[in-house]
């Protein structure tokens, strides 16, 4: 998305990244499309766009968050 002002989370604390990923996930579950693309700077930088959220982050922290989320869902009583 050219011209979009992205929030740079590359060096942000893990907690800030995970809170942002959770918000994007909530929007996605409500039907808002998510676009994820490799950033022109290359691996591991990616851009994520969802609604009014536009971020630059790293795919490694996103994958770590997703793995933790899936593991937690396995043991969540609401999922059984």
Lookup: tokens for 49: 């766009």
Q: Tokens 């060096």 appear where?
A: 11
All domains in the chain, ordered by first residue:
7-70 (3.30.720)
51 Cβ contact partners less than 8 Å away, ≥ 6 residues apart: 27, 32
pLDDT digits (tens, 9 = 90+) for 3-60: 789 999 999 999 999 999 999 999 999 999 999 999 999 899 999 999 999 999 999 9
Rounded Cα distance between 3 and 76, Å, is 41
Say how far apart CA 11 and CA 33 lie, in whole Å.
25
Residue 79 has pLDDT above 60, yes or no: no
Spatial distance between the Cα atoms of 17 and 14, rounded to a whole number of angstroms: 5
């Amino acid at each position: 998305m050219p011209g979009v002002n992205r929030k740079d989370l590359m060096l942000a604390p893990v907690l800030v990244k995970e809170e942002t990923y959770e918000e994007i996930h909530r929007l996605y579950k409500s039907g808002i499309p998510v676009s994820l693309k490799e950033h022109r700077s290359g691996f591991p930088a990616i851009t994520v766009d969802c609604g009014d959220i536009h971020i630059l982050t790293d795919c490694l922290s996103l994958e770590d968050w997703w793995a933790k989320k899936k593991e937690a869902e396995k043991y969540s009583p609401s999922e059984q």
